[in-house]
A and B are shown apart, each in its own frame.
Chain A
Amino acid sequence: MITRREFLQTAAATAAIVPGGWPRAFAQQRLRQADLMRFDSLGNVTLVHIADLHAQLVPVYFREASVNIGVGDAKGEAPHLTGAALLNRYGIAPESPEAYALSADDFTALARAYGRMGGLDRIATVLAAIRAERGDKVVFLDGGDTWQNSYTSLVTKGQDMVDCMAMLRPDAMVGHWEFTLGADRIKELTQSLGFPFLALNVRDTEWDEPVFPASTMLERGGIRLAVLGQAYPYTPIANPRWMIPNWSFGIREDEVRTEVEKARAAGAELVVLLSHNGFDVDRKLAGRVAGIDVVLTAHTHDALPAIVKIGRTLLVASGSHGKFVSRLDLDVRGGEVKDYRYKLIPIFADAIAPHPAVAAKVAAVRAPYLAHLSEVIGRAGALLYRRGNFNGTLDDVICDALLAERDAEIALSPGVRWGASLLPAQAITREDIYNATAITYPAAYRTAMSGARLKEILEDIADNLFNPDPYYRQGGDMVRVGGIAYTIDVAQPIGRRISQLRLLRTGAAIDAGRDYVVAGWGSVNEDAHGPAIWDVVASYIAARGEVAPATSGHVTVAGG
C-alpha cells in the first residue's frame, strides 16, 4: 500500500511532469491491493501462472515494447499490438495504471507516478491470498526463465531463485535460460526442487530417451488435471549447445499430441500445457493439436489482459519480470471447460504489501552481495529500455560501450527480451548493469567480419523473427546494432529483407568484400574471448558519468 505521505510526494512530483489533467486522474485511480486482486471466483480450478521472471527478485521498471510487429497470420493481432492500438483493443484508458503496465506510452511520466512493478515478495502476497480464498482448487505454475539474468542468480548458479521460489511452492515449472546453467547443474537443481521440472520436448541425443518428466497429474477441486511441460524448443541453437551437449529439443508437435492423449487416457479432465514455446508458436500449436484446454504461454514476454481463444483452447500470456500474475478460474465438468474467468493481475510494488517471510528470504539471499550491487556507476541521461523488435536505448548504450571500449566499427548486441528499464536521471547501479547483461557466457568478443557476412547475419536473424510460419519464427527480437544503419522490409523473404546497410562513421555503404571490426557479446561458441560484457558497460558508463544513446544504430522499418 502506498502510504499517504508517499502518495502525496508522488502526486506532487508527478504534477510537474505528466501531461495536463493527469494528476487528477491519478488521484481518482489510486491503487489499492484489494482492487488489484479483486476477482469474482468461478468454478472448481484456479490456475495461477507467472513466467519470465528473469531472476528479478525485487521490483523493477520494465517498459513494454513500442514496436512488436506481427507477420503472416499474426499481423495486427494480439500480442502484436502496442501503444494506442493495444489500449483501444482492450478498452484501457490512456495514463491509467493498466496503460502504464501494458504499454510503452508516456512511460517515464507514468513510471514516476505508479512506481516499480514486480517483486517476488509481492507475487507471494497475491498467491497467498488466492490460496486462502480458493484452497485446494489452486495450481501454481512457473513458465520458466526464472533462474537466470540477475547478478545473484549468476553467482549462485540459480540457487537464490530456487530457494526463494520454493517458498511459493510451485506445482511444476519449465525452462529455457535455466539450461544455460549447464546440464550438470540443471540436473542437480531439478532433482531437489520438490516439484517437477517438465520438458516433454527434451530427449537425449544418443537414445532419444526423455530427460525430464513430460507431465504431472494433479488433483484439484475434485478433478484430475494434467500439466504438460514444454521447454524452449530452440535452446541448443539460441543458447550454447556445448552446455547441454547431449540434449535435443524442438517443438515436437507429435509428442505433444501423444502426451495429450496419454493424459486424457489416464483420466485427466483438464489438460494444461505449461509452455515456453513463445506466443506465436503456441497459437499455431493450439490450432493443430486437439485436446489442450489451456496453454500458459511464455518466452515472448507478452502481457495480455484477456484470454486469446484458439478453437477450444485458452491462451494465457502473463508478461515478464514479475510485473504480472495470471489468475484463471475454470469451471471443469465432464472433461470440459464449461466456463472461465481471467485476470492479469498487475503487481504494483508500491500498492501490494510484501509477503514478510518471502521478503526476508529475498533480503537474505541478496545480503552478501548488496554492497557490490548498490554501487552507483553513473546516471541515465535518457529513458533506457530494451524491449521491442529493434534497438532499445539501453541496447544503444551497450553498443556504444562495445564500440568505444573494444575499439570497433560495428557493435552487435543480442536481441533478448529481458532487461529492466531505467528512468531519465536514475542512478545506474552495478545491479542495473547486470540486469541487462547477466549470462553465463558473457565474453565481449572482438573480431573481423566481412560486409557480406554481416548482411547474412542480419538476414538470418530477421528471418528468425519475421518468418511467416511461426514454427520458424521462434526467435527473439532483432539483433541490436551499433555503428551501422540499415533498412528492413519485414514482409520480404530471407535474403531480401535487409538493404541500405551503411557505416555510420563514414556514411559509406557497407562493402560486401571489406572486413570490418565487429564487437559483440553472447556468443554461443565455447571459445569466445573477451572481457565480460558487464565490465565493458560499467567501464564505459563510469568514464562518462551520464549516458544516453550516442552512436547508436539506425533502423528503418518497411513492410510492417
Chain B
Amino acid sequence: MVRRLNRREALAAGAGAFAAGLGSATGPARALNDYAEQIAKFTGGRTPVEGRVKLELPELAENGNTVPLSVAVDAPSGEGAHVQEILVVAPANPNARVIRFRFSPLSVPEASTRIRLAATQDVIAVAKLSDGTFFSASRQIKVTIGGCGG
C-alpha cells in the first residue's frame, strides 16, 4: 500500500522548489458560504461602493491558519461622517464572517489582525459610515490548503 500525501505535500512535491502549489484550482470566486447574505445583512440590503477601503493581505499565504490582515478606510474621523464598522468576509471559508471591527467617532479607522483562510479566494471588507453609506474592497489571496502541516 502506498502512503497518501495530503494536499500540501502533493502540491509541494509536484511543484518542488520554485513552484509550490497554491490554493484552490477551482478559482478564487468559489463561494462555499452565505457571504453575500452576510454583507446584505450588514448593509441593510444596500450595495457597497467599491473604494475608500484599503485591504492588505499577502498575495500568497505562507500559512493559511494565520494570515496577517490590515484594513483602513480613507474617511475623516472626528467630524462629519465617520467609520462605524468594518466587516470582513471570506467567501470560501466554512463561515463567511471573519471579523467585525467597531470604531468610535474619534477612532482612526484602521485595524490589523491575523485571520484563518481555508482556500484561495477574494477576501472582502465592507465599511459602514455614520451617514449610512457603505464602501468595500476585495483582495485575492492564494492559500495552500493543508499548508499548516508544512
Closest to B27 in A: A495
Q: Which residue of the partner chain, among A177, A238, A242, A448, contacts B4 with CB atoms under 8 Å?
A: A448
Q: Give the contact-size bracket for chain B.
A: 35 or more
Min C-beta distance of A419 to chain B, whole Å? 11
Interface hit among B39-47, B71-79, B130-138, B142-150: B142-150
Known interface pairs A237-B60, A476-B18; A447-B150 also in contact (CB < 8 Å): no
Cα–Cα, bound, A459→B21 (Å) = 9
Q: Is B62 part of the contact surface with A, judged by Cβ < 8 Å?
A: yes
Contact, CB under 8 Å: A475 / B14 = no
Q: Is A26 part of the contact surface with B, judged by Cβ < 8 Å?
A: no
Min C-beta distance of B125 to chain A, whole Å? 18
Cα–Cα, bound, A476→B20 (Å) = 8
Q: Is A211 part of the contact surface with B, judged by Cβ < 8 Å?
A: no
Known interface pairs A251-B59, A524-B150, A525-B150; A447-B17 also in contact (CB < 8 Å): no
Min C-beta distance of B18 to chain A, whole Å? 2
8 A Cβ contacts from B16-59 to A: 16-28, 58-59
Interface hit among B5-13, B82-90, B91-99: B5-13
Contact, CB under 8 Å: B13 / A238 = no
Contact, CB under 8 Å: A412 / B14 = yes
Contact, CB under 8 Å: B19 / A238 = yes
Contact, CB under 8 Å: A520 / B14 = yes
Q: Is A282 part of the contact surface with B, judged by Cβ < 8 Å?
A: no
Q: Give every chain B residue within 8 A of A529 (Cβ-Cβ).
A: 3
Q: Give every chain B residue within 8 A of A448 (Cβ-Cβ).
A: 2-4
Closest to A522 in B: B16
Contact, CB under 8 Å: A525 / B16 = no
Known interface pairs A453-B7, A472-B142; A416-B17 also in contact (CB < 8 Å): yes
Q: Which residue of the partner chain, among A237, A242, A517, contacts B2 with CB atoms under 8 Å?
A: A517
How many residues of chain A have a CB within 8 Å of chain B? 59
Q: Which residue of the partner chain, among A238, A250, A415, A525, contacts B9 with CB atoms under 8 Å?
A: A525
Known interface pairs A455-B25, A464-B15; A249-B62 also in contact (CB < 8 Å): yes
- Count the A-B residue pairs with Cβ separation under 8 angstroms: how many? 177
Known interface pairs A448-B2, A457-B11; A521-B25 also in contact (CB < 8 Å): no
Cα–Cα, bound, A12→B66 (Å) = 63
Cα–Cα, bound, A521→B17 (Å) = 10
Cα–Cα, bound, A239→B17 (Å) = 5
Closest to B1 in A: A448
Contact, CB under 8 Å: B16 / A449 = no
Contact, CB under 8 Å: A460 / B5 = no
8 A Cβ contacts from A437-451 to B: 439, 445-449
Q: Give every chain A residue within 8 A of B10 (Cβ-Cβ).
A: 447, 449, 453, 457, 518
Q: Is A471 part of the contact surface with B, judged by Cβ < 8 Å?
A: yes
Closest to A498 in B: B25
Q: Give every chain A residue within 8 A of B23 (Cβ-Cβ).
A: 460, 463, 494
Mark contacts of A353-379 with chain B using CB atoms, 8 A cut-off: 1 yes-contact digit, 0 otherwise.
000000000000000000000000000
Q: Give every chain A residue within 8 A of B142 (Cβ-Cβ).
A: 463, 472
Q: Give every chain B residue within 8 A of A234 (Cβ-Cβ).
A: 20, 60
Which among A240, A453, A518, A525 has the greatest number of chain B C-beta atoms within 10 A?
Answer: A525
Contact, CB under 8 Å: A238 / B2 = no
Contact, CB under 8 Å: A461 / B19 = yes
Known interface pairs A447-B3, A524-B150, A525-B5; A476-B19 also in contact (CB < 8 Å): yes
Contact, CB under 8 Å: A238 / B18 = yes
Q: Give every chain B residue within 8 A of A242 (Cβ-Cβ).
A: 150
Contact, CB under 8 Å: A416 / B58 = no
Q: Which residues of B contact A (CB under 8 A)?
A: 2-28, 58-60, 62-63, 66, 120, 140, 142, 144, 147, 149-150
The 3 tightest CB contacts between A and B, nearest first, are: A414-B16, A476-B18, A459-B25
Q: Which residues of A contact B (CB under 8 A)?
A: 177, 205, 234, 236-242, 248-251, 412-417, 439, 445-449, 453, 455-461, 463-465, 469, 471-472, 474-479, 493-495, 517-518, 520-525, 528-529
Q: List 15 A-B contacts (CB under 8 A).
A: A234-B60, A237-B60, A414-B15, A414-B16, A447-B13, A448-B2, A456-B24, A458-B14, A474-B60, A494-B120, A523-B12, A524-B9, A525-B9, A525-B150, A529-B3
Instruction: Name 18 extra pairs, CB < 8 A, besides A250-B59, A415-B19.
Output: A236-B150, A237-B147, A446-B3, A456-B24, A461-B22, A464-B20, A472-B59, A472-B140, A475-B19, A476-B15, A476-B19, A478-B19, A520-B14, A522-B16, A524-B20, A525-B5, A528-B9, A529-B3
